Amino acid sequence: MTAALLDALRGAVGSGNLLTDPAATAGYAHDMMPLAPYGRPYAVVMPSTTEQVQACVRACAGAGVPVVTRGAGTGLTGAANALDGCVVLVTARMNRIVELDPDNRLAVVEPGVVNQDLKTAAAAQGLFYPPDPSSLDTCTLGGNLATNAGGLCCGKYGVTGDYVLGLEAVLADGSLLRTGRRTVKGVAGYDLTRLLVGSEGTLGVITRATLALRPLPEAPGTLIAAFDSVKAAGESVNRVVRAGLVPSLMEIMDATSLRASAAYLRTELAGAGDQALLLCQSDTGGAAGEDELDRMEKLFRQAGAVYTHATRDAAEGALLLRARRVSLTALEARGACMTEDVAVPRTRIADLVDGCAEIGARAGLTVAVVGHAGDGNMHPTVLYDRASPEEYARAREAFDAILALALALGGTITGEHGVGKLKQEWLEREVGPVGMRVHRAVKDALDPAGLFNPGAVLAERPGARDAP
């Protein structure tokens, strides 16, 4: 490492946007996942333009120094975690909504735009940006793009990648790649846009995105249903799917997460014997929306719901939904958490929840489960004592057991958080040797020196780069 690299970075972004003091750079070293390894960055740069990103990437490429791109740091797989001696490139200052086009229903944004800010700007034009991670008021679109983030309304509206029309990304040699288009349809060439979405900063640095918007839906009606068994809640989900209903939101919470949220919010959410709660919303307007809620309520009662409540009051609905959105925060108030992100077929949700309880019992730990019942994406959370190395080890074993369970149930190791620096071994188990060979070929083609986020998604090859 030489002073020449620092001079080049300073020249690219200015002294005020370059951090080298270890006390300052430490705050950019890792995301919210306690399991994933991280190191000490050599420097942190905060560019505000695409040209500055290009200059930083070229400088790092010339010095053979890895680049780890970081958004808001809300990730849960270590995908934005620093390596010793790397440069962390923070996109937070690139936070403009460049264009909002209501006639073509699209927005052009920079990666540092907060998810909720785009939603608010779109709503002012009668439009809707659907992806809504639980951290929507803090997470940025660059991170959402990098992990192909989802959220609570995925069952009806899909994930981030379903709304990406085109991208601009800086490649490993500093050149600028433009992918996609602004048109509704377009199939020219390979789908490079889809390739970059979900690549977790390993193939390029996304500096701009063209996103599709939808008409703003009606204010949703809300329905909750409590059950005395997880099996009954799972059967209710199956009945909704079989009936052809597509609620805009259908979430499940087990007993542990229910009681944690109730204590955190200081309110009553369920009865003493309730083992699961389904929380659903319908944003279909008028009589059709009322009918959708009514039909779901009947299906839930037929499946064994011990309590149901429906409301069209927006404030009450938002209060009920908050219980789900704060679930991780509520669990963290009880101790350290390892939050999982697996997806299983919707018919196996109950098997996953029950299996997680068994895994927790074997480990002598509590495993709480919340998730997106509408698409089978579940978030088991292992609670443990941070001060106990022995308990941490048992929590890690439980974490791996949950991944194995998800695969055994015909599922996947990640539904929306990504692979990061945590699940590379499990990715290989899921996609197989041929899939891994193709992954490697793509990585080698776009980043031959292996300097973009080494160790994320794919395990870093021994000797792939010289130590900085």
Question: 20 near 404, Cβ under 8 Å?
Answer: no
Instruction: Indicate the pLDDT class of residue 115, thresholds 50, 70 and 90.
Output: very high
Return d(Cα 90, Cα 93) in angstroms, integer.
Answer: 8
Q: For the segment 32-45, what is each residue's pLDDT rounded down to a tens digit?
A: 887 888 999 999 99
Structure token digits, residue 83: 């390596």
**For residue 215, is pLDDT > 90?**
yes
| Torsion sign (Cα): 288, 290, 293, 299 | negative
Region 285-309: mean pLDDT is: 95
Domains of the chain are: 3-92 (3.30.43.10), 97-215 (3.30.465.10), 221-408 (3.40.462.10)
Least Cα distance to 158 among 211, 208, 80, 109 occurs for: 211
**For residue 464, is pLDDT > 70?**
no
Beta bridge partners of 378: 342, 371
Q: For the segment 334-347, what is each residue's pLDDT rounded down to a tens digit?
A: 989 999 999 999 99
Q: Is 124 exposed, middle or buried (0-12, 13-18, 19+ CB in 10 A)?
A: exposed
Least Cα distance to 457 among 85, 68, 139, 170 occurs for: 68
Q: Is 397 exposed, middle or buried (0-12, 13-18, 19+ CB in 10 A)?
A: middle
**For residue 468, is pLDDT > 50?**
no
Backbone angles phi, psi at 322, to 5 degrees: -60, -30
Does pTM top 0.85 for this prediction? yes
| Mean of pLDDT over the chain | 94
Region 50-57: mean pLDDT is: 98
CA dihedral 276, 137, 179, 459 (to 10 degrees): -60
**For residue 272, is pLDDT > 80?**
no
Region 41-58: mean pLDDT is: 98
